[in-house]
Each structure stands twice: as C-alpha cells, then as structure tokens.
Amino acid sequence: MAVQPIRPFTDPVLRTVSEPVTTFDRALRALVKSLQATMRAGRGRAGLAAPQIGVPLRVVVYELDGKSGHLVNPRLELSERKIVADEACLSAPGRWWPLERSYMVTARGRDMFGKPATVRALGVLARVLQHEADHLDGTLFVDHLPEEERERFLASIP
C-alpha cells in the first residue's frame, strides 16, 4: 500500500468532522492498509486517523507495544481517572505538550469487514485512541489546552 503524506496542523481537512463509513468494501480495506503503511513509515508513530491523510472518513489505526489494529466508526467510553502526559501529533511533528486524558478507554466500532470490534486500552494506548478519535471530530489536541498554552503551542508551528 502507498504511504501517504500527512497533512499539517494548518490543513483545513483536520478541522472537518469526518463522515461515518457506511460501505465496507475494497476501497475501505485499501484505506485501512494505506493508513497502516503511512503510520509505520516513520519512527515513534502510534496512531493515525484518516483525516490526517486527507480522507474525511471515521477510520483510525493504531500500533503500540505489540497491540495493533484499526477501528471504523469508533465510539469511546472514557474512564473517570485522568492522567497528564506529553502528547504529540504527526500533523505537528517534533512538538510535545502535556495534556490531561482519561487513563482507560473502551473503544467500540467495526473492523474493515464490518464486524464488531472492541479495544480496551490503558495508558499510552488509551491516549492514542482518544487523540485519533478527536481527529475524526475535527478536534486537534491543542483544543483541549487552556487558551494561553494553546496560543504558545500554535505560535511554535512554522
């Protein structure tokens, strides 16, 4: 599968709410494989959402600590327990910022064949799933920061 360029933080597609997937066909399977190839093409990549390669569909892929997969039309159930840790985005490479997220998530959706899929995740993988699901709603991780910190982060992007 072809590795795709990752859209920068300033690309308007990252602010678009993605459409739900309604057809589980060869094109969807190709998209999932392309997302996986793109995610794996660089070091330190743990997740990727379809909007980050310019496709406004509700599809995410993840790979961390030997756990990998994808979710189509994911819905997240978040734990009340929160944790603050550094977070980054492939659309703003090389920049990290501390952000509070739920420590545990249960993500439910479908696989590329339309079969139900559930992922239970703790810690960093839970953060990755939350981050990628945000992309599907046109939300960037800096949107969760206090205004002053968000402005400092955005000012650091060329």
As annotated, the active-site residues are: 132
Which residue from 84, 89, 76, 75 is spatially nearest to 103, judged by alpha carbons? 84
Contact between residue 27 and residue 34 where contact means Cβ atoms under 8 Å apart: no
Expressed in angstroms, the distance from the first to the final Cα of the chain is: 30
- Residues 106 and 126: their CA atoms lie apart, in Å, by 8
- Residues 29 and 35: their CA atoms lie apart, in Å, by 10
The two three-digit tokens of residue 79, written as one number: 């734990």
